Amino acid sequence: MKRPRVDTEANHRLVTRRAAILGGVQLAFVGALGARMQFLQVDQADQFRLLAEENRINIRLIPPSRGEIFDRNGVPLARNVPSYRIVIVREDANDVEEVVQELSKLVSLDPGEVQRAMAEMKRSAPFLPITFADEVSWEDLSRVSVNAPALPGVTPEVGLSRVYPLGSDYAHVLGYVGPVSDYDLERIEDPDQLLRIPRFQIGKVGVEAKVEENLRGKAGARRVEVNAAGRVMRELDRQEGIAGSDMQLTIDAKLQSYVQARLSGESASAVVMDVRSGDLMAIASAPTFDPNLFVRGISSRDYKALTKNKYRPLASKTVQGTYPPGSTFKMITAMAALEAGLIGPDETVYCPGHLTVSGRRFHCWKRAGHGWVDLETSLKRSCDVYYYDLAVKVGIEKITAMANRFGLGERHDIPMSAVARGLTPTKDWKRSVHDQSWVVGDTVNASIGQGFMLASPLQLAVMTARLASGMAVKPRLIKTIDGIEQPSGAGESLGMNENNLRKMRRAMYAVVNDRRGTAYGSRIIEDAVRMAGKTGTSQVRNITAAERRAGVVRNEDLPWERRDHALFVNFAPYDEPKYAVAVVVEHGGGGSKAAAPIARDVTLQALYDGEPPLDAYPTKDRGRIETQQQVLRGIQPVANISGRDQA
């Protein structure tokens, strides 16, 4: 049946309309697609080209040069030296074991080092370079460079490693650097990405650790292009890091070396301090060790030898060691009494060899006693009974307060490890720590630097500097950072009665220069540089009543660990004090025999800025000193220069 003409025309219009709509949709789609293609291929071409390039570009950190350390005169103490090494990046190497096998054909690889490096690689990010050979020769480095195309992921590098030119002389001051450990990362809240580079070196102890952030610097970065095999093709750009700050210490290298040599053979420590500025001119502990052994990781054998040594060479005794100050503390007890107005310099106390307090007998070191003594005589002859009597009058609170004013019981702010606070006890301290009440006998013991009282050699040097200057001087170890002078340790006045200070200085002068003084044998003969000081002997064992009746065993007849500590503090010149010195010889016996000769020799070396004239010494010492000077100049073979048997 033939459709009507009207229906045909209607259908034709419908089809035409649908075709137009469909064509429009298709055209819109094609237009949108074209616009999108133009956006991606033309407008965003640079962006996608960069993204494509980043698929074959690696960003690698450039470790900064570590700041170097010098003495006050510019002598290098810690330097950086070139070190050749071979590293492998896991993500570039693909088959690491195969690459290592090929590398071993070119250079000699230590199996232990390879095993360590493989373990380190497994726990490190795949893009971090791992050291497989360190301190390689230039020939080995060149051989690897020539064969680089066949060693994907392998890169020969020239880095910097720490070296300590003066070795053991500065071990306890500078400390040392070493590879970052897991322990190091755990104790740092937000570790620098540099620290995650395997075997990156940071300060472990001493100045190297305490000013690590200044010395480390800031990392740089470089963009390198690698091929499909992971081989570096070229360096695209480099942004150098910021080198660490160079530092200058207050220490005098020449004096430090002398002090270290003078302490040789002893378990001892010595501090030399400028009484006005607080500059530490020398701060030495013996025996010592070579910090270069620790830079790349010390061997078990070497470390065991250090830890098993009964003289504790790893300990920095100048700041970590705390000892009963013994009679070197008597100036503090006397100053407490003088400032409180409880005694006069001419008042006398009778010493029969002991004093009974609260039913307990406290003995003087001289069994027969000293008879009637005043302030100067008591210090000159180191009478204990005089200070026992003062202790009862003054009380522990005033004694401790005076000790604190002179720098005892204070953790001094210098960048060395484990700086000790020491101990200046009070009644509340004993109650809280020992759950016991304070008794007058505790005060009597404290008055002569025994009992609970503890001080470090650094604190004793500060105490002596404050006695000499009357100022609240503080110790300073960092002189400059990047050439910028650091704050001086000079302080304000202690606020002491100057007459009282003069009396104490005069009494200390008599200790050394009066024929009956305990340190007369270690005096300085030259009038212009005469010193004032105080001997000290601190007990490390209790002497029983039975032993006193039978006769106290001599120190030299006791095992080393049970002998008394020997101490000596001094300042010089007496008229215009320049340096304060503190010496502690562990288990050395009497301070006059073991510590005073060392302190005298060190003081003269500091005052003369080098080798002093022989006529500055007592006649009996000149032969030993001349031999000592020849030894230090290398003229004579090394011998015992302590002179303990002649002091």
Same domain, 316 and 218: no
Does residue 287 fall inside a structural domain? yes
The residue out of 186, 219, 249 marking a domain boundary is 249
Does residue 10 fall inside a structural domain? no
> Cα separation of 143 and 134, whole Å?
15
The answer to whether the beta carbons of residues 334 and 504 sit under 8 Å apart is yes
The answer to whether the beta carbons of residues 515 and 521 sit under 8 Å apart is no
Q: What is the pLDDT of residue 125?
A: 74
Same domain, 278 and 244: no
Amino acid at 477: L
Residue 271 belongs to what domain range?
Answer: 253-632
Same domain, 118 and 262: no
Same domain, 366 and 437: yes
DSSP letter for each residue of 216-262 = H-B-EEEEEEE-TTS-EEEEEEEE--BPPPPEEES--HHHHHHHHHH
**Other C-beta atoms within 10 Å of 302: how many?**
13
| Residue numbers annotated as active site | 327
Same domain, 234 and 266: no
- Distance in angstroms between the alpha carbons of the first and the last residue of the chain: 145
Does residue 609 fall inside a structural domain? yes
Same domain, 154 and 282: no
Overall number of domains in the chain: 2
- 3-class SS letters over 509-526: HHHHHCCCCCCHHHCCCC
Does residue 42 fall inside a structural domain? no
Does residue 5 fall inside a structural domain? no
> Cα separation of 387 and 536, whole Å?
14
The 3-state DSSP class for residue 179 equals strand
Q: What is the pLDDT of residue 56?
A: 67
**Domain CATH number, residue 288:** 3.40.710.10
The order of strands in the sheet holding 232-239 is 57-62, 220-226, 232-239
Q: What is the pLDDT of residue 248?
A: 98
> Cα separation of 337 and 359, whole Å?
24
Does residue 477 fall inside a structural domain? yes
Same domain, 110 and 208: yes
Q: Phi and psi of 257, rounded to 5°? A: -65, -40
**Domain CATH number, residue 170:** 3.90.1310.10
The residue out of 219, 249, 279 marking a domain boundary is 249
Q: What is the pLDDT of residue 483?
A: 94
The two beta strands, 69-70 and 57-62, are unpaired
Mean pLDDT per block of 10 residues along the chain (647 residues) reads 59 65 74 72 61 60 89 96 84 84 86 84 78 82 84 82 94 93 79 76 94 90 66 71 94 96 95 98 97 87 93 96 97 97 90 94 93 96 97 96 97 96 97 96 96 97 98 98 96 95 97 97 96 93 63 73 93 97 95 96 96 94 89 58 43
DSSP letter for each residue of 38-67 = HIIIIITHHHHHHHHHHTTEEEEEEPPPPP
Q: Phi and psi of 531, rounded to 5°? A: -115, 160
> Cα separation of 241 and 244, whole Å?
9
Does residue 81 fall inside a structural domain? yes
Same domain, 242 and 261: no
Same domain, 244 and 258: no
Q: What is the pLDDT of residue 428?
A: 96
Same domain, 238 and 273: no
Rg from Cα positions in the chain? 37
The residue out of 213, 234, 249 marking a domain boundary is 249
pTM of the model: 0.84
Same domain, 583 and 510: yes
Does residue 100 fall inside a structural domain? yes
Same domain, 152 and 274: no
